[in-house]
Structures are given as C-alpha cells and as structure tokens.
C-alpha cells in the first residue's frame, strides 16, 4: 500500500493507472475507520483493479457549532486497517493541500437538502459535494462507494454526478451494523453506557415501521407517529426527525407506490445518530443501489 499526501502525486499516480487501462475504485472517508468503511473497501476490491481510499476530515461540511475539532482521528490505526484490507493507495491530504488560500469556488446543491439532516445543517451538503468533486477529479475514479447509512448524502451525490456528467459510477452499499442492530458510526464512541444500550432502539423503530408496511398499512402519518412514540418510550434522546420520503428524490409521499426511505435522527448527549431503511412498495429492504 502506498500513502500519498499531495494532489500532484495522487494525480500523477492515477494517470499511470489510466494509461494501463486499470479500473479505479474509490472509497472516500473522514477516517477513524470501522467495519462500515472496510465493507466498502472489500466491495470495491471485488469490482476494481485498483482501490483508493481517502482520509480527509472535511471542514467545509461542519457547521460553526459542530464537532470538527473533536471528530475522532487515528491515522496510525486507519493506515493499519487500510493495509489489512488491501487498499492500493491511501490518500491523506491536509486541509491546506485540499483548500489552498486562493480557492474561489465551491459546489452548491439546490435540491434534496431541505429535509432530513440537511434541514438542520445548512451548507453541509455543499461542503460534501465540493470535496467530492475535487476527490473524483484527483483520483479519476471509475467507481465510488458509499454506505447507505448516509442515505441523503448518497442521493445528493448520485444527483450531482448525473447533473455534472461526471465519469464516475456511484454505488451505495448496505449499512453495516453491530450485532444488536446499531449502525456502525465513528461517532458511536461518544455514547455513554446507557446511551449505547438505548441506541439499539433506533434500528428497532425502523423495523417496526417496516412491519406496518408489510402488513398493508399505507398511512404515512400514523407510521411516523408510531416510530416517534417508540423512540420516546425507549430512549432518552431528543428526536431530530422521523420522516418518510421518496428515494432518491427525497420528496414527501402519502402512499407507497415507488421506492422510499424511512429515516430517523436522534440527539444523545454524546452524539447525534442517524439511521434509515430504504424499501420497495411491498416493504422489502433495498440492499444495494448502483
């Protein structure tokens, strides 16, 4: 595995891959790698000749009161994990390398942002799209892999890749979970013992909603209310949202005619957790989106 820290070297190396006709798979991360990230890497290894993983905590996607400075970082552990999972190139640029002083432009996302996490994080997805636009060009990726735990992010990435005619195929991989159902997240380390026990109920609330749909319930308002009540009864967290939307357009729905998402976010003292399931009209879970 080769570690690269500059844009110039990364671009030069990927030029050589392209000249040799090798397919490049790209897994963008903010580090503190866990099984969710390594599942993306393993999936990419199955499909591509070369796998590049980036580790970059992107300041543009953090708001003024968010946890950029506290975001967990462990470069030595991340490097070991990446090598263990046979990453070919580990790209770890600095903030100054990615955003020089003379930067004058950024990507602005116009749709799919006024709901779910975007509603309480203005500008967040502009920051995500901006860094990904740069990373896609730098890595020259043929395929890019994302976990569907961040389903709104995936929907937005799919959309802007299409809008800008970028030559990268975006693939969404199922959320990786702990044995008790909690979605893997770098922020889980911030939960105290009681919060960690309660956090398992996020996924249970989604399974409850799925069962209502499988049983033939078409009342989206009632399902939201049931999920909200379940979370209130089983956790001490503050609910940010419980929503049911079309997917990937992320528009309000009243009936289950097409693919849709049930998504939740809950604030604990230690961390804000998100989770979701993406379902077809019959209530069957969608595992991979490509």
185 annotated as belonging to a binding site for a ligand: yes
Q: What is the pLDDT of residue 102?
A: 84
The owner of tokens 């203005």 is: 122
37 annotated as belonging to a binding site for a ligand: yes
172 annotated as belonging to a binding site for a ligand: no
35 annotated as belonging to a binding site for a ligand: yes
Q: What is the pLDDT of residue 64?
A: 83
* 93-148 confidence digits (pLDDT tens): 999 999 998 889 999 999 999 999 999 889 999 999 999 999 999 999 999 999 99
* 8-22 confidence digits (pLDDT tens): 999 999 999 999 999
Tell which wins on pLDDT, 289 or 103: 289
- Output the CATH code of domain 186-279: 3.30.1300.10
* 68-79 confidence digits (pLDDT tens): 888 889 999 999
Q: Which CATH class is domain 2-173?
A: alpha beta
36 annotated as belonging to a binding site for a ligand: yes
User: Which of the following is catalytic: 37, 85, 124, 201?
Assistant: 37
Q: What is the pLDDT of residue 212?
A: 96
Rounded to an integer, the average pLDDT of 188-206 is: 96
Confidence of residue 282 (pLDDT cuts 50, 70, 90): very high
Domain residue limits, the chain:
2-173, 186-279
> What percentage of residues in the chain have a pLDDT greater than 90?
92
The owner of tokens 């595995």 is: 1
Helix axes 151-163, 124-139, angle to 10 degrees: 60
* 35-66 confidence digits (pLDDT tens): 999 999 999 999 999 999 999 999 999 988 78
> Alpha helix locations (H) across the chain?
7-19, 35-47, 75-84, 95-98, 116-120, 124-139, 151-163, 193-214, 220-234
124 as an active site residue: the answer is no
* 30-42 confidence digits (pLDDT tens): 999 999 999 999 9
Confidence of residue 183 (pLDDT cuts 50, 70, 90): very high
User: If you average pLDDT over every residue of the chain, what do you get?
Assistant: 96
Tokens of 207: 């399974």
């Amino acid at each position: 595995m080769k570690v690269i820290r500059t844009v110039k070297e990364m671009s030069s190396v990927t030029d050589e891959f392209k000249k040799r006709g090798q397919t490049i798979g790209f897994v963008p991360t903010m580090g503190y790698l866990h099984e969710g990230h390594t599942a993306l890497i393993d999936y990419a290894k199955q499909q591509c000749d070369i796998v590049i993983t980036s580790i970059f905590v992107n300041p543009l996607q953090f708001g003024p009161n968010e946890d950029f400075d506290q975001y967990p970082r462990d470069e030595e552990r991340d490097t070991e994990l990446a090598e263990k999972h046979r990453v070919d190139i580990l790209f770890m640029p600095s903030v100054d390398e990615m955003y020089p002083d003379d930067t004058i432009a950024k990507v602005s996302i116009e749709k799919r942002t006024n709901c779910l996490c975007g509603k309480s994080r203005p500008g967040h997805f502009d920051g995500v799209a901006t860094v990904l636009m740069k990373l896609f060009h730098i890595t020259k990726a043929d395929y890019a892999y994302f976990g569907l735990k961040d389903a709104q992010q995936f929907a937005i990435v799919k959309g802007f890749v299409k809008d800008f005619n970028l030559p990268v195929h975006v693939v969404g991989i199922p959320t990786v979970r702990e044995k008790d159902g909690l979605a893997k997240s770098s922020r889980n380390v911030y939960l105290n013992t009681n919060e960690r026990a309660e956090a398992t109920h996020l996924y249970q609330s989604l399974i409850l909603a799925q069962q209502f749909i499988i049983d033939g319930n078409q009342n989206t308002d009632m399902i939201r209310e049931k999920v909200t009540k379940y979370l209130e009864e089983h956790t001490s967290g503050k609910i940010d949202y419980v929503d049911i939307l079309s997917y990937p357009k992320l528009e309000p729905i009243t009936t289950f005619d097409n693919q849709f998402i049930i998504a939740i976010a809950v604030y604990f003292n230690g961390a804000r957790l998100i989770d979701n399931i993406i379902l077809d009209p019959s209530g069957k879970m969608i595992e991979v989106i490509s």
